[in-house]
Structure 1
Amino acid sequence: MKQAIATSLLAIGLLAGNAAYAEDYTIDTEGMHASIQFRIKHLGYSWLYGRFDKFSGQFSYDEAKPADAKVEVTIDADSVNSNHAERDKHLRSDDFLDVKKFPEAKFVSTKFTPAADGAGKLEGDLTLHGVTKPITIDVKQIGAGNDPWGGFRRGFSGSTQFALKNFGIKKDLGPDSQEVEMILSIEGVRK
């Protein structure tokens, strides 16, 4: 009897210990439930918006230990889309992304500092145009739950800004066009 009770307590302890763990997610790019957009001032007169149509990635997140969150995203630089074919050719050229030489951009997180209400700061290394530099992304959790297809999803939004010259992009579009803002909407499906 004592052995049965001990075994039961051990089993309960193991189950309780495993109740909170990091969940791994694949970013849902198939259904286009994720996006990587950017905006930059055009000569200081207006905002130019664009996006990357092809990217992939994954993240892990544990509600009990959000500071352990990890993210990795790879972007196909050739998929840049500003809704203007000639401009997109220019963005792919060696004036900007130089996609022949640097076909991918990549972000790998190094630290997440959670704040209230699912917000936080995600730090990591961005590799763009062959240059790797640390950036910080302001993150907000949008929600999590079951989807209609029997899966479980979790979504975040984020934004960051950085100077193009920090990544070796030297094309000068004027003093008001030195920084680009990235706007992220990431929805993951639990593996």
Structure 2
Amino acid sequence: MLKKTLATLVLGTALLGAGSAMAADYAIDTEGQHAFVNFKISHLGYSWLYGSFKDFDGSFSFDEKNPEASKVNVTLNTKSVDTNHAERDKHIRSGDFLNVDKHPTATFASTAVKSTGEGTADISGNLTLNGVTKPVVIAATFIGQGDDPWGGYRAGFSGSTTLKLKDFDIQKDLGPASQEVELIISVEGVRQ
């Protein structure tokens, strides 16, 4: 009888612990402009060209005690590319680069999260861009979490990854210094 009671107590404690350690779901706060998908690429090896995607949406789940259980999903509108130069943006939207008429969205869906240190992790996932899906790894950093002034609860992260343009069937050759683009991401999510 004591064995059965002890086993029930251990199982109950484990289930309670598992329930409290579940990941929370967050919606990325794009409406409040607390999230950014930016990029930088070398311009002919002479300077950096910076840009961003203005229209995207997504969600993530996060459990500080078990970061490996986290998940991320993002969809962005490729037509929303903005480099602060209308003619260049038009060219980036063309078949030379993002081919937005055929591929109006890009997506990222995580497949694994691996802690790399205190507050850092590698987020592996599949990025679909220009109709091509490839695995990528985003080096992420936990920024912070807590209550907001509007009665919600928020968590924020930043991350970056480097993409080879040819891996995503972007064939326009801008020279040897411009073969890769760095994505720089900063997101703040509101717990649901």
Category of TM-score, reference length = shorter chain: over 0.9
Partner of 2:113: 112
Q: Equivalent residue for 1:145?
A: 146
Match of 2:175 in 1: 174
- Root-mean-square deviation (CA, aligned residues, Å) is 1.8
1:88 aligned residue:
89
Relative to structure 2, which stretch is displaced further, 14-23 or 64-73? 14-23
CA shift in 2, pair 1:124/1:12, >3 Å: closer
* Residue identity in the other structure for 1:166: D
Runs of 4+ deviating beyond 3 Å: 9-17
Matched position secondary structure for 2:118: helix
1:59-113 deviation line (CA, Å, top 9, x unaligned): 0011121101100000100000000001000000000001000000000000110
> Shift of residue 115 of structure 1?
2.1
Structure 2 spans left out of the alignment, 5+ residues:
1-9
TM-score, scaled relative to structure 1: 0.92
**Percentage of pairs with the same residue:** 57
- Residue correspondence of structure 1 range 46-125 to structure 2 within 5 A: 46-125=47-126
Mapped partners of 2:18, 2:27: distance in 1: 25
CA shift for structure 1 position 47: 0.2
- For the residue of structure 1 that corresponds to 2:142, the secondary structure is strand
Q: Calculate the TM-score normalised by the size of structure 2.
A: 0.92
Structure 1 residues 150 and 173 mapped into 2: Cα distance closer, same or farther (>3 Å)? same
Provide the residue aligned with 2:5 in structure 1: none
Could you give the per-residue CA deviations for residues 105-137 of structure 1, whole angstroms, max 9, x where no partner exists? 000000110122210111000000000000111
In 2, the alpha carbon distance for the partners of 1:12 and 1:68 equals 20
Across the two proteins, how many residue pairs are aligned to each other?
185
Deviation track 1:136-172 (CA, whole Å, cap 9, x = no partner) reads: 1100000000000000000000000011000000000
Unmatched 5+ stretches in structure 1: 1-8
